[in-house]
Structure 1
Amino acid sequence: PAALEEALSRLPGPLLVAATAGTTDAGLIDPLPEIAARCAAHGARLHIDAAYGGGLLFSDRHRTRLAGLDTADTVTLDLHKLGWQPVAAGLLAVKDPRDLTALRHRADYLNATDDTEAGLPDLLGRSLRTTRRPDVLKLAVTLKTLGRSGLATLVDQVCARAREFAALVDEHPGFDLHARPVISTVLFRPAGATDDTVAAVRRALLTDGRAVLGRARLDGRLWLKATLLNPATGPADLAALLHLAARQATLVEGHTPR
C-alpha cells in the first residue's frame, strides 16, 4: 500500500489500479481495503482480479478474506476454479452499468441493424468473447441445484484439505513448505533439492500419470504447486501424493530427502 500511495501521488491521471484476490502462484490476496482507500483518495479506478479467490464469497468462513472487494469498480471471477464450472464460465462484474457500453458496439459484419430486425441472432452483448457461447446457464443451474450454502461446503472442504496437506509437508523432514495456504494452493519442494530436481520430479509424475502438480517460482526458487480443487480428495490422497513426490525425488539425480 505504501508503494501504491507513492505511485498514485507521482503519476498523472486518469489511473487504473489492478489488485489481485488469489494469485496464480500462491493464492495470495492483496490488502484490498488499504488499496481501495488509496484509490478513493486519488480518484483512481480499482479493478480486482478475483479469478481464483472470488469463490471464497460463497463461504461464510472464508469470505472475510475478500473484505474490500465491494469497493472495486470492476471484478473478474473465474468460476472454473472455486465454482466447479467449465473453463469458459468467467464473469465480469461492474459497479456502473455504463462500463458495459462497449458490448453494445455495432459492427455491420456482426450485428447489422436490418439483420437483427429480420430475426438473425445478434451475438454482441451476449458474451465478452462475442461469437463464443456464454456459459452462464451452467453457473445458474449449479446455483439453483447447490445454492450458496452448497458451494460454500465445497469451498470449505478444499481449503481444509489444503491446510491438511500443508501440515503434512511441514511435518515431513524431507520437504520444505513455502507458507501456510491462503486459499487452496500449497507450495512445497524436496529439502535441499536443486531447481532442476524439482522440475524433474514434477515432469516425471506428470508423464507417468501419477500426479498433476503445477510449478511456481517464488523467492528465487522453484516450487511444486498442489492446488486442491477436488472436494472428494481425502487424507489418504494427500498422504499418497506426498509419498509419490518423496519417492520420485529419490530417483532424480540421486537426491534423497532428509
Structure 2
Amino acid sequence: MLMSTTPASVAAATPNAEQFLFSDQALLPYQAAMSEAIQRVCRQLSQQTKPTSGVTPAQLQQQLQQVDLTQPLADLSQVLDELQTTYLNDAVYFHHPHYMAHLNCPIVYPALVAEVISGAINTSVDTWDQSAGATLIEQHLIDWFCQHIGWAQQADGIFTSGGTQSNLMGLLLARDHFCEQQLDHCVKTQGLPAGAGRLRIFASEVSHFSVKKSAALLGLGHNAVVPVACDQDYRMCPLALREALHQCQRQDLIPMAVVATQGTTDFGSFDPLPQLAPICREWNLWLHADAAYGGGLLLSNQYRQRLAAIELADSVSIDFHKSFFQPVSCSAFLLRNRQWLKYAGYHADYLNPRIDAAAGIPNLVDKSLQTTRRFDALKLWLSLRWMGPNAIGELFDKAITLTQQVYDWMSAECDDIELLHQPGLSTLVFRFYHAEASDAQLDECNRQIRRRLFDEGRFALAATKVNGRGYLKFTFLNATTQLDQVQQAIAAVQQIGRQTLQPLDKPQEACA
C-alpha cells in the first residue's frame, strides 16, 4: 500500500479541493473573490504615488523566503494581504506618468474585461473543437490587419507571444522557403542542408537582439546575421546593404533574408522599406519587417506614413502589447502569402488531422509554433469594438507628439544634456554631459543618475549603450504624461549629474 507523503498538518488544513473548481456551482464565491481582488487593485492604484518603490532584490527575496508554500492561508483576505507585501507594494507601475523606461504601455480597461472573460472560460485556440467562435474572432482580426497593411486576400497570420516569437517565425519561414525554392531541400523533414552555415541574414546594426537569437535557434548561429551600417538617423542604409550583399557573394556566402526594423527599440527609427524592398526583389531575398514597436502606426491618424511600403514585406511582426495598449501578451505574426505557413504546420491525428483541413475546419494550430494558446485576441477585439481603432491610434499619436515636444525643449533649453537623434517614434536617447568629463566618467555618472532615480522611486528611466558609451533613454507610451512632468525628470537628471561631477567644475572667483 502506498503511503501519503503529505504532512498530516497540511492535509488537515487543506479545504475541500472541489469547491475551488470554477463551474456553475462556484459562481457566488467566484464573484466575491473577483470583487475583493478588484477592490485591492483599485485601492493600490488610487494610492500609488510613484512608479516604483525602489526595493532591492535582496529585500524582496528575504520576504519571499518566509513563505511556506506547503501551508495554505485561511482565506482570500490573508492571501491578498500576503500578496500586498510580496508583490503589489513593490510592483513597477507602467500607468504612472513618471514611468518612462521600457516599451511597457499603460493598458486600456476594455482589454482587462476581456482578460476576465477569457480567463474564466479558459479557451485554448489551437483547435476549433476547443475554441469555436474564438478561432473566428482571431482569424477576423488577422484578416483585418493584413488588409490594413495593404495585402491581398491570400495573406494570413497568427497571434504570438511577442515580437521575439514573431521574428523567429518570420526567419524560420524565410529559411525553409529559401531552401525549398533555391536548394530543392525540405528542412522540415530532412533537417538543415549541407552548407547551411553559409546562409546569411541582413539586419541593421541597431536591430533587435531577437534576430540573432532566432538565427541561433534555427541552427544558423549568431554569425549568420550580418550587421548593416545605418545612416545618421539610425536607419539601415540601402547602399550599405548592397555592399554587404556583394561582400557576402565574394566570400561565397548565401544571402537569404533581410530584416527591416520598423521602429528600433532605442531610436524608434524606420529602415527605409521603399528603398530596401527593390533590393530584396533583385536578390530574391525574403523581406521581414520587424514592426513590433512601430506597427501601432497602422491605426495612427497622424503618423501612418512612417510605415510607408510595409505592404512590400513578405512578413511582419506586430506587438499589440506595446503600441496598442494591450496587456501582455498580445502580438501577431502576419504573412503576405498564407501558403508559406506550411513550413510551420504539423498535423497530429489526435488534434488537427488533415481530414479537418479538407473539411474546412479551421484549426489555428496548423499555422502556429505553439500548441496550447490563450485567447489573447479577445483583448484586442473588445478594445476595437468598444473604443474603436481611431481612439487606440490617438493614444499612440499623443505619445509620439510628446516625444517631439520633449526633444524640441531639451534642444533649446538643456546645455548639459546630449541628445543623440531626432525621435522617430516615442523614444529618446540622451545623457547628462559635462565638457570636462571623460567618457568613463560620463558613463558612470549616467549610470548613477538612473540608479538613484529608480531607487528613490522618483522616475523610471531606461539605459542603453551606443558605440560602447552609456546613455539614458526615455520611452513614452502614456498619453497622460505631460511635458512638465518630463521637465521634472530632466531637472532631477541634471541635479544628480551636477552633484556627481561637481569636482570637475572650475572654481569660481569670489565676488569683489
Alpha carbon RMSD of aligned pairs, Å? 2.6
CA contact (8 A) 1:206 1:213 kept: yes
User: Helix, strand or coil for the counterpart of 1:249?
Assistant: helix
In structure 2, give the amino acid aligned to 1:32: L
2:416 equivalent in structure 1: 174
SS at the partner of 1:27?
A: coil
Determine the structure 2 residue equivalent to 1:235. Answer: 483
> 1:76-129: CA deviations, max 9, x gaps?
001211111122111101001122224531357x8375xx9xxxxx78348543
Distance in 1, Cα, partners of 2:503 & 2:379: 46
Larger mean CA deviation between 144-153 and 197-206 belongs to 144-153
Report the alpha carbon displacement of residue 230 of structure 1 after superposing the two structures with TM: 0.2
Q: Within 5 A, what are the aligned runs for 1:96-107?
A: 96-107=337-348
Tell me how far apart the structure 1 counterparts of residues 273 and 431 of structure 2 sit (CA, whole Å): 30
Distance 2:270 2:283 in 1: 22
CA distance in 1, matches of 2:325, 2:338: 27
1:189 correspondence with 2:431: yes
Taking the TM superposition and a 5 Å limit, the aligned residue runs for 1:99-248 are: 99-107=340-348, 111=351, 124-125=365-366, 128-170=369-411, 171-192=413-434, 194-248=442-496
Matching residue's letter, 1:51: A
Q: State the one-letter code of the partner of 1:111.
A: L
Distance in 2 separating the partners of 1:214 and 1:197: 14
Contact 1:249 1:255 in 2 (8 A): no
* 2:320 paired with 1:83: no
1:92 corresponds to: 333
CA distance 1:206–1:130, change in 2 (3 Å): farther
Alpha-carbon separation, structure 1, partners of 2:505 and 2:310: 42
Structure 1 residues without counterparts, runs of 5 or longer? 117-121
Encode CA deviations 1:193-229: one digit per residue, 9 max, x unaligned.
6111111111111122111111121244221100000
2:245 counterpart of 1:8: yes
Letter in 2 for 1:248: I
Matching of residues 27-46 of structure 1 within 5 Å = 27-46=268-287
Identical positions, percent = 35
For 1:77 and 1:23, the matched residues in 2 are separated by 13
With structure 2 as the length reference, what TM-score do the two structures score? 0.46
Map 1:18-57 → 2, pairs under 5 A:
18-57=259-298
Q: In the alignment, which residue of structure 1 is the partner of 2:53?
A: none
5+ residue gaps in structure 2? 1-237, 357-362, 507-512
Taking the aligned partners of 2:383 and 2:427, their CA distance within structure 1 comes to 24
Amino acid at match of 1:145: W
Select the structure that is richer in helix: 2
Number of residues of Structure 1 aligned to a counterpart in Structure 2 = 251
* Matches of 1:133 and 1:256, distance apart in 2: 56
Distance 1:255 1:82 in 2: 43
- More moved, 198-207 vs 70-79: 198-207
> Secondary structure of the residue that 2:388 maps to in structure 1?
helix
SS in 2 for 1:213: strand
Q: Is the 8 A contact 1:21 1:52 kept in 2?
A: yes
Change (3 A) 1:166 1:97: same
Distance of 2:341 and 2:367 partners within structure 1: 11
Deviation at 1:130, TM superposition (A): 2.8
Bigger shift: residues 51-60 or 243-252: 243-252
Q: Report what 1:119 is aligned to.
A: none
Larger radius of gyration: 2
- CA spacing shift, 1:64–1:235, aligned 2, 3 Å: same
Deviation at 1:162? Answer: 0.5
Distance 1:246 1:13, change over 3 A: same
Cα contact 2:290–2:316 (8 A) shared by 1: yes
Distance 1:238 1:76 in 2: 30
Letter in 2 for 1:208: E
**Could you tell me how far 1:240 is from its partner in structure 2?**
1.4
Equivalent AA in structure 2 for residue 5 of structure 1: R
- Following the alignment from structure 1 to structure 2, what is the Cα–Cα distance between the partners of residues 255 and 214? 26
Residue deviations 1:146-199 (CA, integer Å, cap 9, x gap): 222112211210011101111232221221111221100011111126111111
The alignment's TM-score, normalised by the length of structure 1, stands at 0.87
Report deviation, 1:54.
Answer: 0.9
Distance 1:207 1:160, change over 3 A: same
Task: Answer yes or no: is the 8 Å Cα contact 2:294–2:425 preserved in 1.
Answer: yes
**Counterpart amino acid of residue 475 in structure 2:** T
178 and 255 in structure 1: CA distance in 2 versus 1, 3 angstrom threshold: farther
